[in-house]
Amino acid sequence: MLDRHSIKVIRAPLNWGASLLDQAGFNANQVTLAGFIIGLLVFPALALEQYTLALIIIVLNRLCDGLDGALARRQGVTDAGGFLDISLDFLFYSLVPFGFVVANPEFNAVAGAFIIFAFIGTGSSFLAFAVMASKRDIENPIYKNKSLYYMGGLTEGTETIACFVMMCLFPDYFAFIAYLFATACWFTTATRIYSGFNTLR
């Protein structure tokens, strides 16, 4: 819901950062992989209840995710790069709640499982429609520079990052935040399935 607005704010600094990376000889796939490797560190940080460190890692991972896209647009968007980016993004998104579960399984296990379950809904509806839209040459009028059709919803990247930030700032309220955000994710999934089915039909 907020991605179209946040993109306008972060586009200029991301383009500036991408130009520096381009001049230094990096490519988008390298930045994607570096961001994912950094992101993997969020799991031990959360498992050890180092929530400030986890927050820093989340921010760095998401910064790399923005930079790899900006760099790809400079150097040329590729299907392989888009596939790598989205695959690693979804793995990272699921790793964060899993880390909270390991940190406190007694209180966080069910809420963590529920939000990962919700991520399956948003992810599968997102990717399934992207495949069908590509087959039918359906273009997205809003996110024209994405490597695949970016189907919006109530919970997009900006909202997910905000959710993770809140979890790290208020770890004792992880379950409440997880249930709340997962419910919003299921609303997104339902609307995507409804609108996607009717669009393709």
Contact between 139 and 172 under an 8 Å Cβ cutoff? The reply is no
Per-residue pLDDT at 144: 47
pLDDT tens per residue across all 201 residues of the chain:
665 666 776 788 889 999 999 999 999 999 999 999 999 999 999 999 999 999 999 999 999 999 999 999 999 989 899 999 999 999 999 999 999 999 999 999 999 999 999 999 999 988 888 888 878 777 654 444 454 445 566 778 789 999 999 999 999 999 999 999 999 999 999 988 988 888 888
Indicate the number of domains in the chain.
Answer: 1
Per-residue pLDDT at 148: 44
174 SS3 class: helix
Cα angle, residue 122 at apex, residues 117 and 127 outer, rounded to 5°: 120
Cβ atoms < 10 Å from Cβ of 135: 9
Per-residue pLDDT at 149: 47
Contact between 17 and 70 under an 8 Å Cβ cutoff? The reply is yes
**Matching residue, tokens 């700032």:** 169
Per-residue pLDDT at 5: 64
**Matching residue, tokens 């880390």:** 99
Tokens at residue 120, please?
Answer: 């399956």
Domain that includes residue 119, residue range: 3-200
Per-residue pLDDT at 143: 42
CB neighbour burial string for 47-83, b if at least 16 within 10 angstroms, e if fewer: beebbebbbbbbebbbbbbbbbbbbbbebeeeeebbe
pTM: 0.85
CATH of the domain at 31: 1.20.120.1760
Tell me the CB-side half-sphere exposure of residue 97, using CA atoms within 13 A: 29
